[in-house]
Structure 1
Amino acid sequence: MERKKHKRIIAQTLAALSRGLGVFFGSNRIALIIKLKNNSTPEIYDPSGLLDENTEQIQRFLKSPTLKKELKQANWITNLDYNLLPNLKIANTISFGCNMKHIAMQYWIVERQSDLCSKEPILRWLEFAASQLHLDIMDKKNLRENISNLAIESYAMHAVRDHLSDLRTQALGMDVALSFYNILDTIINIASTREEGAWARGGIAFVDPSVIDHVNFMASFPSHEQPTLEDIKHCRKLIQAVEGSTRLLISDGTTIVGISQSQLPKGTVVADFKGRFGFLRFDNKTICAFTESGFVGTNRRPNLDTLERLLHTFQLSEEEANALLNCSFNIVEYAQGRKHGCSIVLDLGEPPTYISGLSLTSPLDLKIPENISLSASFAKIDGALHINKEAQLLSFASLLDGPSMAQECRGRGARYNSALRFSARHPDVVVIVVSSDRPISIIYKGSEYNRLIGKEITFCPKNQPDSTQFSE
């Protein structure tokens, strides 16, 4: 009975973490390796097959003398402490491992995306998930039912705050007066406030009061007239004074003190507003991005990791795959930057499929930067770009058609559903669909390839590795 309860708790924790990370940085491929007791066999929870290609590496790691030594030396741990375990170094992942009093070992592994600003907020999130799972396992009376899951799923702002707090402690020590929750709330409120119909553009630097005297002000305000951060409309109006310049509003975490464009003291947090989004930095290191809805972990550049994985399943040389990725990335980035949708057909068959459109007399070689720029301009015209496996543009304004199918999504537009229909009839074709509101979909064989966000996590997925292979 107790084992069944533990399985349910683990599955619910994985599901909550998956939903939260899916919103924060676009990937919810997560896995957990866990041992409840030192003498038990490690169990693998891998609903999305993240560890499928690394089974042997994991097996060697779990049997390594270094890990065994760490597990045996952790007798001092109390209910609220943990011992950090050696890093599980799996390519293109972020991992956090620890052992606690009632869980001998837990390793959380998350897929790392190429457009991630910083892995540190993710590590703080995994640390929190590990602690909540430990508390749930300890709970014998089921008093915490669903409480931790809600906290884990909505931990984005807290993960950012935890990382900022760690950085600030390293830079200035523990005795500092800056309240990060107040600052983060202010940033989101300003990001969601328009002034005369326009979104905020400019920057605010949050300087710790202990070092604010080191700032060289261009202009400062009398203490009794300094706008408080609670007065969002006033702060939003003041940002217009630094728009389109290197100047920054300077805040002590409570009020707007003045304006400066000199070098900022160590331990400064900067919110760089760029319209409907912005970036949060600590001492010039990008921590995350933000929108009017909250904080996100991506740098807002196109993420074509899914396309890269898919291209590796075709018989393409490394040079051909890289050329296709490069031209696709640049065209997608151009479309996203100008907020228009587009479709790109990567035709990997021999010979290429005929598509009705405006054909070119001679294919345009997209290995040449000038030709990529021209193709990006063609993408603004209704219809799809048709590119062959040699990264040559064959036609633009191409019409994608096909019979209706059950997988169509009425919540998406004609561009998306046309790509579903067309790719279902042509198995050697990959279609990249860019929506005007930025999302990217990779369509292959009539469905969205590797679509994992929103996928329900269960305890026993079919592709879960057999945990008995890790026994002694």
Structure 2
Amino acid sequence: MTPVLAPAPPLLWPHQARYRKAAQALAQDLFDALDEELKPYVVLLALPTSPAQPALCLEPEDCGLPADEFFGVVARGRTIQNATPWPYPEREDVTPAMLRRKHEGMGVRNAVQEVLDRLDEHGLQQHFAGYPIQIQGYFVVTILRLQRKPIRAYPSLRPHRFYTDGRPLAPSLLVAAMYRFNEESVKALSEPEPGAGFIVRPRESEELLRAAGKALLDTPAQSLGFDPATTKLFATCNTISSLRYEGAEGVGKLLLARRGHPNIEEIFALTCPTELTDYRAVRKLLEMTTPDIHLLANGESVYALGRQVGKYDAVREDLFVISFVTHYSWELQHDNHVLLRSHYGLPGLPRTRLSRTGFRRALKRTFALTDPLKVERLWDVVNEASRQKHGTLLVITTEALAEADRLKLQCTLIEPVPLTPLITRLVTSIDGAVLLDPEGYCYSIGVILDGRASGRGDSTRGARYNSALRYVESSDYPCIAVVVSEDGLVDVITSVEEAAA
């Protein structure tokens, strides 16, 4: 049997258990907001600075990592340190001793990651090592574990690119979120009372998500030769997408590429390029775009209108698309892949369609429904509803008939009918919710839902999402709400939490 990491001493420092719980809670909120299938799990690893001592799993006691794999990892880290030049520019406010400690920490972190990568090679999970902090004679490493399958489901730019000061650029929103999580962990463990900051001053996951979105948009800015600190593409795109022109929402595309790019053809140029930070002027120019003609920008200003031509070599990674989808919603695209979708200033991963597996799990959890024919019938209904370009709302409840009668003054009652894709397309074309039961029978359409105010409400989401949330949380019966937003985002809200499944 493979030996696992030695059990930890009773206490390495006072806040270690509470720090790990706070880090786990933050990781849960942050990565669940990106994709619930990531299932983050935080482990604290302690590596002795003395080679005679064994590696320890601090929290939780049994982390399942094999002990022999971490033997000599600190020595390996120092070897990496000696073989790798310090990547950051020298600063007057950083002493040589501080530089050595930072360099040593980077070496240890890289050595730990080497071990984790080897262990994960054929596994279903992937571990990511944070920067080690010395506490009581140990390097304490916060390790984040995520499920491998959803990680690989999302597109990414190429890794191993860096800011001019040597810090790594984020190739994807997911990696950017990991960077932000690691930064918070390092800050918390570097305090005079390690970990106390996580407990008394927890960071909001939305704040970290926005920071991750900003970090990802730094990558195209740097690719185009601009300083990300001054370009601020994430904030710029958010502001432009929030503006209306004569009451109309902004829809169109902006191509980011150096002028003269071989895959860009100019239709006509502006005599005086318009700065991207001249938000209202850019929003006005966006009115001239069509599905084929876009604004052309070099990362700093709009210089022309034009189109993309020829076959783009994606390896170049020097042509990006900002697609303004609807009011306050936009996407970052590269080579026809969506890297980020921002909705009311909050970035997310491109989850446009409903997950069949997730929906089946919700049906089983909420209604104990496993009959393949019934599940497939409901899947056909929600799949058709998800194509409704103006958005829609389906409510599946065991008491659909009774609820239709209760809400009869604020809906249109219909004769019970089993929904088909055709009927679904018809009944979801009007405002209001569609009320159906787990058998797939519809009883009312155009329903105005009621419900008590919810503590889970989200001001960045529309009325459709929040009304569905209020209804589900107030319902006395098992129910599921499927919310299709105008920007294509699909949410499944259940009255039964997954933990209770």
Q: TM-score range by the shorter chain?
A: 0.5 to 0.7
* More displaced 10-residue stretch of structure 1: 248-257 or 32-41: 32-41
Q: Does 1:155 align with 2:208?
A: yes
Q: Does 1:359 align with 2:415?
A: yes
Pairwise CA RMSD:
4.7
Aligned to 2:493: 442
Aligned to 2:325: 274
1:49-128 equivalences in 2 (<5 Å): 59=64, 62-63=65-66, 73-76=76-79, 78-81=104-107, 82-83=109-110, 84=113, 85-86=116-117, 87=120, 96-97=128-129, 100=132, 102-104=139-141, 106-109=143-146, 118=155, 120-128=172-180
State the alpha-carbon separation in 1 of the partners of residues 21 and 393 from structure 2. 37
Aligned to 1:329: 383
1:158-177 equivalences in 2 (<5 Å): 158-163=211-216, 176-177=225-226
After superposition, the Cα gap between the structure-2 partners of 1:245 and 1:167, relative to the gap in structure 1 and judged at 3 Å, is closer
Partners of 1:190 and 1:232 within 8 A in 2: yes
State the alpha-carbon separation in 1 of the partners of residues 194 and 344 from structure 2. 37
Aligned match for 2:40, one of 26, 30, 47: 30
Query: What is the CA-CA distance between 1:287 and the residue it aligns to?
Result: 0.7
After superposition, the Cα gap between the structure-2 partners of 1:25 and 1:195, relative to the gap in structure 1 and judged at 3 Å, is farther
State the alpha-carbon separation in 2 of the partners of residues 414 and 105 from structure 1. 39
State the alpha-carbon separation in 1 of the partners of residues 363 and 397 from structure 2. 13
State the alpha-carbon separation in 2 of the partners of residues 69 and 167 from structure 1. 39
Q: Does 1:199 align with 2:249?
A: yes
Aligned to 1:308: 360
Counterpart residue identity of residue 276, structure 2: L
Partners of 2:37 and 2:150 within 8 A in 1: yes
* More displaced 10-residue stretch of structure 1: 277-286 or 17-26: 17-26
Aligned to 2:93: none
Aligned to 1:228: 275
Query: What is the CA-CA distance between 1:30 and the residue it aligns to?
Result: 3.2
1:325-404 equivalences in 2 (<5 Å): 325-334=379-388, 337-345=389-397, 356=405, 358-360=414-416, 363-364=417-418, 366=420, 369-374=421-426, 376-377=428-429, 380=431, 384-388=435-439, 392-393=440-441, 395-397=443-445
After superposition, the Cα gap between the structure-2 partners of 1:286 and 1:440, relative to the gap in structure 1 and judged at 3 Å, is closer
Partners of 2:189 and 2:195 within 8 A in 1: no
Partners of 2:392 and 2:484 within 8 A in 1: yes
After superposition, the Cα gap between the structure-2 partners of 1:423 and 1:4, relative to the gap in structure 1 and judged at 3 Å, is same
Query: What is the CA-CA distance between 1:200 and the residue it aligns to?
Result: 1.1
Aligned to 2:302: 256
Counterpart residue identity of residue 12, structure 1: A
Matched positions, count? 407
Query: What is the CA-CA distance between 1:258 and the residue it aligns to?
Result: 0.8
State the alpha-carbon separation in 2 of the partners of residues 261 and 358 from structure 1. 49
After superposition, the Cα gap between the structure-2 partners of 1:440 and 1:96, relative to the gap in structure 1 and judged at 3 Å, is same
SS at match of 2:140: coil
* More displaced 10-residue stretch of structure 1: 226-235 or 65-74: 65-74
Partners of 2:255 and 2:294 within 8 A in 1: yes
State the alpha-carbon separation in 2 of the partners of residues 158 and 239 from structure 1. 26
Superposed CA offset, 1:30-58 (max 9, x none): 3212212352135339xxxxxxxxx9xx7
Partners of 2:469 and 2:493 within 8 A in 1: no
Aligned to 2:56: 40
State the alpha-carbon separation in 2 of the partners of residues 285 and 229 from structure 1. 23
Superposed CA offset, 1:395-443 (max 9, x none): 3349999xx9xx954678876666556543xxxx533264888784534
Aligned to 1:52: none
Partners of 2:294 and 2:307 within 8 A in 1: yes
After superposition, the Cα gap between the structure-2 partners of 1:451 and 1:110, relative to the gap in structure 1 and judged at 3 Å, is same
State the alpha-carbon separation in 2 of the partners of residues 12 and 196 from structure 1. 47
Partners of 1:160 and 1:287 within 8 A in 2: no
Query: What is the CA-CA distance between 1:311 and the residue it aligns to?
Result: 2.8
* More displaced 10-residue stretch of structure 1: 72-81 or 197-206: 72-81
Partners of 1:20 and 1:154 within 8 A in 2: no
After superposition, the Cα gap between the structure-2 partners of 1:162 and 1:399, relative to the gap in structure 1 and judged at 3 Å, is closer
Aligned to 1:470: none
After superposition, the Cα gap between the structure-2 partners of 1:374 and 1:71, relative to the gap in structure 1 and judged at 3 Å, is farther
Partners of 1:218 and 1:260 within 8 A in 2: yes
State the alpha-carbon separation in 1 of the partners of residues 253 and 435 from structure 2. 38
After superposition, the Cα gap between the structure-2 partners of 1:143 and 1:355, relative to the gap in structure 1 and judged at 3 Å, is closer
Query: What is the CA-CA distance between 1:80 and the residue it aligns to?
Result: 4.2
Partners of 2:431 and 2:446 within 8 A in 1: no
Query: What is the CA-CA distance between 1:116 and the residue it aligns to?
Result: 8.0
After superposition, the Cα gap between the structure-2 partners of 1:90 and 1:354, relative to the gap in structure 1 and judged at 3 Å, is farther
**Percent identity over the alignment?**
11
Aligned to 1:4: 14
Superposed CA offset, 1:262-319 (max 9, x none): 3367411211012221211123321111234242224444567654323345251445
State the alpha-carbon separation in 2 of the partners of residues 97 and 346 from structure 1. 46
Aligned to 1:284: 336
Counterpart residue identity of residue 272, structure 1: S
Aligned match for 1:219, one of 268, 283, 298: 268
Larger RCO (CA under 8 A, 6+ residues apart): 1
After superposition, the Cα gap between the structure-2 partners of 1:381 and 1:346, relative to the gap in structure 1 and judged at 3 Å, is same
